[in-house]
């Protein structure tokens, strides 16, 4: 028998304009069979999934960043273009391109489709959001559209799963159709120069046909491209392009306008035959909603009400699953105690690993609900309105609405927020945004907030609707947002002065969210949180257990052992610095541990109190109860109270307690200047504001 031959796995790229529903299509085709990484050398997310066909075969589906055209401006757009054209060595060119098109905005979306057709790439058009088009009185003859484009068109509503099986069946076909001749025309002199340049690039430059088509158009339409990419072309190509520009300029042709206008002329001819639009009587559904949601006053009130309702719901819905998870870890701890002999091994598992990881994982339900609600708001199209609404506020601090998008991303994590600043054109605005992004309340802070709120904020209701714990949580997020805007204003007035650029942003139509897509995103982010708890936080908990358990003392209580341990000595060392903030040495240990990651504070407190109370037989007492009942042995007063909890939350709102974020800022700014400045200013800001809050709180408590 001959050796088995490995059949290469087909690679299918999915691409489309932003807000066309590309993520919903990708999730519908792949389900949970996904993995996320970064492209080598850049901070652009690389998402791959597995798509299985009816005949049992499969292919790799690559989700490319959204882009409006192959003429890339931002890093994520450049990655999408490079992958499509086979220019990235780390990613093979796709065997098929699925281009997702928003049926309700078909003219603009077809511009990108025609660019892919020009490059002779095998293409399949997923005509998504057909329900939105129908709502807007747009009728599309998909059969005629397919004939005019020369490619297969599959109508679908990805959010409801409609058309997904048809798209999967079309993608399974190995003989995907791609147009072999451009169907839009240029003036004869321009056409002649374009064809000649394309042939030279293929022959002398040894470029592939798709890449030669793209490069020829780029060089003719953008004189600056020749200068920016001069090292990629031979002297003959450079001389030829310069001659072309001189000739066409002399003849009076504006190539940049001609290529765009000629392409849109063809698109308009296609739409005149395949698309029918009925004029709407009065305002559309989207316009009616936007009159309220983008109003400078009512829109802002709605935004605040929505966020308040979300955080109130997070506390209400997450309570029972949190209790179940806490009970599970207590049960595991009890079982470990029953099967292992007393000693350091048992203490390491129960007081170190289980106490540390369990204290953080308990808050997983609240984090999942946060990701769920943010995903729903984004999928409905509301988040784009929030950015538009914030443009007026952002401009007052010297930035524009585009800088608000990284701030929104940072509600999940500051790292993708910092990465998304690469879409901002001005370097000064990028740096300002990066400097203030970590002030936004990320999900890593949520376990800290919820631990302290659940322990010390009474469960009262205001106006019979909003709970005091929920409003407290909202106030922490608002404090971070207000401080971020305030610091941005200060930086734009001092260190990084510059003009405020014009903000142009597409507002997508409102649509029914894809619950499947939102749940998949929620699961991915929650899984990343669990991986962090299972690796990094577990490691920190074990190290902390050792530092809090050694050196051993004889004939001492658990509390005395903790106080004299390496960790206790470190806490006492910094206690004079943090005493003016209302913090004791045990909180100091938590602050030191959470310099790496904020949520480590919770696992640190869990480990510390398990060790401190080891001789009290409190194995099943929750961390909340231990914080509530802890007293200062010297004074007999509670270590924690409502003022201490508020001060701790304020400190974590403002302090830079995440070294991963610092590393990303260093990479994005190509140096240590701005990361070091960020650490210094945020630490000083956190200390100063917390000190002020503590002193004001003491004044009112005494009064």
Which stretches of 39-144 are assigned E, i.e. beta strand? 45-52, 58-63, 96-102, 123-128, 138-140
Q: 677 pLDDT exceeds 90?
A: yes
Higher-confidence residue of 304 and 122: namely 122
Q: 502 pLDDT exceeds 70?
A: no
Helix (H) or strand (E) holding 662: helix 659-669
Render pLDDT for 386-422 as a digit per residue (tens, 0 to 9): 777 776 677 777 766 566 667 766 666 676 677 667 6
Q: How far apart are alpha carbons 673 and 438 in whole angstroms? A: 17
Q: Are residues 156 and 213 in the same domain?
A: no
CATH of residue 123: 3.40.50.300
Query: What is the chain's mean pLDDT, rounded?
Result: 78
The two most distant CA atoms of the chain are separated, in Å, by 97
pLDDT at 3: 46
Spatial strand order of the sheet with 123-128 comes to 34-38, 45-52, 58-63, 10-16, 96-102, 123-128, 152-155
- Where is the domain boundary, 224, 252, 280? 252
- pLDDT > 90 fraction of the chain, expressed in percent and rounded: 10
pLDDT at 421: 74
Average pLDDT over residues 196-224: 75
The tokens describing 206, both together, are 């040894």
Q: Are residues 55 and 94 in the same domain?
A: yes
Residue 60: strand pairing partners? 11, 50
pLDDT at 43: 43
Render pLDDT for 30-82 as a digit per residue (tens, 0 to 9): 876 665 544 444 445 678 888 888 887 888 898 888 888 887 666 667 778 88
pLDDT at 2: 47
Q: Are residues 53 and 165 in the same domain?
A: yes
Q: 638 pLDDT exceeds 60?
A: yes
Residue 364 falls within a domain, yes or no? Answer: no
Residue 86 falls within a domain, yes or no? Answer: yes
Higher-confidence residue of 231 and 619: namely 231
pLDDT at 664: 75
Residue 215 falls within a domain, yes or no? Answer: yes
Least confident piece of the model among 146-155, 232-241, 260-269: 232-241
Render pLDDT for 590-616 as a digit per residue (tens, 0 to 9): 888 787 777 778 777 877 777 666 555
pLDDT at 217: 78
Higher-confidence residue of 587 and 617: namely 587
Residue 564 falls within a domain, yes or no? Answer: no
Q: Are residues 163 and 21 in the same domain?
A: yes
Average pLDDT over residues 520-539: 72
Higher-confidence residue of 272 and 467: namely 272
Asked if the peptide bond before residue 682 counts as cis, ω within 30 degrees of 0, the response is: no
Per-residue pLDDT band at 145 (split at 50, 70, 90) = very high
Residue 62: strand pairing partners? 13, 48
Residue 139 falls within a domain, yes or no? Answer: yes
Contacts of 672 (CB under 8 A, 6+ apart): 666
For the residues of 617-635, what is the DSSP string, one character each?
Answer: T-TT--HHHHHHH-B-TTT
Residue 566 falls within a domain, yes or no? Answer: no
- Where is the domain boundary, 252, 284, 301? 252
pTM comes to 0.63
Asked whether the beta carbons of 530 and 364 are under 8 A apart, the reply is yes
Q: Are residues 242 and 106 in the same domain?
A: no
Counted domains in the chain: 2
Q: Are residues 143 and 210 in the same domain?
A: no
Residue 105 falls within a domain, yes or no? Answer: yes
Q: Are residues 46 and 146 in the same domain?
A: yes
Residue 293 falls within a domain, yes or no? Answer: no
Sign (positive or negative) of CA dihedral 401, 404, 408, 413: positive
Q: How far apart are alpha carbons 303 and 293 in whole angstroms? A: 8
pLDDT at 101: 93
Q: How far apart are alpha carbons 505 and 200 in whole angstroms? A: 39
Q: Which domain holds residue 163?
A: 10-172
Per-residue pLDDT band at 654 (split at 50, 70, 90) = very high
Asked whether the beta carbons of 190 and 258 are under 8 A apart, the reply is yes
Q: 515 pLDDT exceeds 70?
A: yes
Q: Are residues 105 and 215 in the same domain?
A: no
Q: Are residues 47 and 138 in the same domain?
A: yes
Average pLDDT over residues 661-677: 83
Q: How far apart are alpha carbons 338 and 203 in whole angstroms? A: 76
Query: Is beta strand 123-128 parallel, antiparallel or unpaired with respect to 96-102?
Result: parallel
Query: Is beta strand 96-102 parallel, antiparallel or unpaired with respect to 10-16?
Result: parallel
Per-residue pLDDT band at 467 (split at 50, 70, 90) = confident
Sign (positive or negative) of CA dihedral 337, 338, 340, 341: positive
pLDDT at 41: 44
- pLDDT > 70 fraction of the chain, expressed in percent and rounded: 82
Q: Are residues 144 and 229 in the same domain?
A: no
Q: Are residues 242 and 123 in the same domain?
A: no
Q: How far apart are alpha carbons 50 and 52 in whole angstroms? A: 7
Q: Are residues 156 and 240 in the same domain?
A: no
- Where is the domain boundary, 201, 217, 252? 252
């Amino acid at each position: 028998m001959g050796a088995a031959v490995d059949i290469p796995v087909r690679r299918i790229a999915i691409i489309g304009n932003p807000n066309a529903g590309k993520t919903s299509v990708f999730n519908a085709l792949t389900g949970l069979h996904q993995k996320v990484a970064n492209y080598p050398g850049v901070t652009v997310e690389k998402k791959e999934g597995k798509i299985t066909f009816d005949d049992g075969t499969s292919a790799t589906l690559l989700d490319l960043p959204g882009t409006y055209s192959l003429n890339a401006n931002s890093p994520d757009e450049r990655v999408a273009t490079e992958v499509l054209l086979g220019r990235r060595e780390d990613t093979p060119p796709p065997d098929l391109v699925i281009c997702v098109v928003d049926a309700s905005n078909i003219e603009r979306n077809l511009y990108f489709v025609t660019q892919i057709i020009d490059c002779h790439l095998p293409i399949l058009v997923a005509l998504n959001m057909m329900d939105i088009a129908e709502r807007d009185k747009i009728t599309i003859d998909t059969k005629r559209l397919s004939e005019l484009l020369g490619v297969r068109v599959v109508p679908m509503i990805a959010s409801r799963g409609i058309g997904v099986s048809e798209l999967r069946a079309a993608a399974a076909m190995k003989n995907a159709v791609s147009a072999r001749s451009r169907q839009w025309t240029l003036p004869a002199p321009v056409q002649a120069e374009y064809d000649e340049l394309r042939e030279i690039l293929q022959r002398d430059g040894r470029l592939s046909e798709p890449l030669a088509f793209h490069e020829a158009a780029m060089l003719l339409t953008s004189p600056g491209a020749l200068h920016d990419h001069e090292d990629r072309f031979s002297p003959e190509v450079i001389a030829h392009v310069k001659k072309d520009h001189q000739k066409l300029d002399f003849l009076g042709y504006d190539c940049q306008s001609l290529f765009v206008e000629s392409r849109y002329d063809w698109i308009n001819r296609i739409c005149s035959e395949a698309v029918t639009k009925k004029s709407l009587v009065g305002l559309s559904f989207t316009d009616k909603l936007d009159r309220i949601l983008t109003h400078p006053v009512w829109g802002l009130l709605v935004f605040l009400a929505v966020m308040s309702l979300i955080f109130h719901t997070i506390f209400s819905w997450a309570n029972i699953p949190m209790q179940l998870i806490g009970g599970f870890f207590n049960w595991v701890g009890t079982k470990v105690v029953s099967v292992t002999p007393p000693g350091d091994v048992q203490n390491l598992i129960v007081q170190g690993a289980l106490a540390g990881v369990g204290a953080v994982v308990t808050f997983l339900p609240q984090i999942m609900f946060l990701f769920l609600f943010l995903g729903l708001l984004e999928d409905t199209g509301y988040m784009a309105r929030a950015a538009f609404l914030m443009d007026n506020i952002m401009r007052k601090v010297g930035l524009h609405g585009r800088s608000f998008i990284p701030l929104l991303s940072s509600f999940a994590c500051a790292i993708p927020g910092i990465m998304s600043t690469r879409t901002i054109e001005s370097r000064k605005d990028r740096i300002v945004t990066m400097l203030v992004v970590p002030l936004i309340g990320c999900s890593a802070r949520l376990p800290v907030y919820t631990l302290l709120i659940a322990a010390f904020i009474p469960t009262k209701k205001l106006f019979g609707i909003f709970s005091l714990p929920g409003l407290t949580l909202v106030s922490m997020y608002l404090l971070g947002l207000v401080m971020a805007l305030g610091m941005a204003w200060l930086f734009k007035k001092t260190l990084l002065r510059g003009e405020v650029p014009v903000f142009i942003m597409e507002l997508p139509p409102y649509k029914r969210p894809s619950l499947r897509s939102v749940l998949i995103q929620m699961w991915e982010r929650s899984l990343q949180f669990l991986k962090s708890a299972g690796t990094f936080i577990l490691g920190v908990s074990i190290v902390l257990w050792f530092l809090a358990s050694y050196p051993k003392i004889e004939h001492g209580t658990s509390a005395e052992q903790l106080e004299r341990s390496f960790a206790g000595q470190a806490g006492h060392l910094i206690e004079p610095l943090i005493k003016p903030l209302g913090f004791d040495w045990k909180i100091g240990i938590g602050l030191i541990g959470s310099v790496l990651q904020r949520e480590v504070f919770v696992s640190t407190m869990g480990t510390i109190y398990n060790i401190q109370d080891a001789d009290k037989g409190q194995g099943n007492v929750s961390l909340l109860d231990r914080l509530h009942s802890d007293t200062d042995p010297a004074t007999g007063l509670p270590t924690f109270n409502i003022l201490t909890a508020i001060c701790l939350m304020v400190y974590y709102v403002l302090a830079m307690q995440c070294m991963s974020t610092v590393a990303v800022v260093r990479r994005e700014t190509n140096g240590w200047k701005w990361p070091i400045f960020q650490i210094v200013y945020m630490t000083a800001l956190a200390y100063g504001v917390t000190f002020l809050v503590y002193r004001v709180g003491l004044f009112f408590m005494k009064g």
